[in-house]
Amino acid sequence: MNAQPSAMNVPRGSVLFRPDESCAGFVVVHSGTIKVSLTAENGREIVLYRVRPGEICLQTFGCLVNGTTYSAEGIAETDIAIEVIPTGEFNRRVESDGAFRSSLFAAVATRFSDLERLVEDVALSSIAERLARALLRLAGPESVVDATHELLATEIGSARAVVSRQLGAFARDGLITITRGHIELVDRDALQSLAGAGE
């Protein structure tokens, strides 16, 4: 393999890695978003985290450091521009480049904190709280979420039917309106209050 980093543009929807695949190198995201998700034996899927510029893929880091294969799936959620640092070059930088090593370890620590929050969220928060947080997160500064019930179920690690029931309850309470493929956040303050209920 080429010992130098390779840059590439990857279109939205492309699968970057799957469970049991080996790691080709350390991925640096320059633009766009990678979604990393895990599927259980029962078929239920949950989003572990997203990798954006300046952030690290903990799956890739673990594979490189431990010499293991991937256990989750990484998909280009948007069009992305990435750089792949081959394993040998990655190891050389970790050993000899202090700035790279410090930046790497800081990013790993941050990502572990994200995963701790995910575990706490799934274990200790109600479906309503988790769904409110997901809607606000996916909407960002906008008021509309373009997401299917299936996608929202994946976001919060629940079943589609459970999400559909909760969305119906939100709609009846006047928090959202639902049209085909779109969810409008009508009462953002109420959703914010609900999202923070378990914190």
| Cα–Cα distance list, 102 to 5, 29, 46, 106, 107 (Å) | 19, 18, 30, 6, 9
- pTM for the whole structure: 0.65
Q: In the predicted model, what is the mean pLDDT of residues 15-24?
A: 92
What's the pLDDT at 199?
47
Give the percent of the chain with pLDDT over 90.
Answer: 47
Structural contact between residues 138 and 148, judged by C-beta atoms closer than 8 angstroms: no
Question: What is the per-residue pLDDT across 165-192, written as a single tens digit (0 to 9) for each?
Answer: 999 999 999 999 998 878 999 999 999 9
Structural contact between residues 92 and 59, judged by C-beta atoms closer than 8 angstroms: no
pLDDT higher at 51 or 107: 51
Mean pLDDT (the chain, rounded): 87
**Structural domains in the chain?**
6-123 (2.60.120.10), 126-195 (1.10.10.10)
Q: For residues 174 and 43, what is the distance between their CA atoms, to the nearest angstrom?
A: 32
Question: What is the per-residue pLDDT across 81-103, written as a single tens digit (0 to 9) for each?
Answer: 999 999 999 999 999 999 988 88
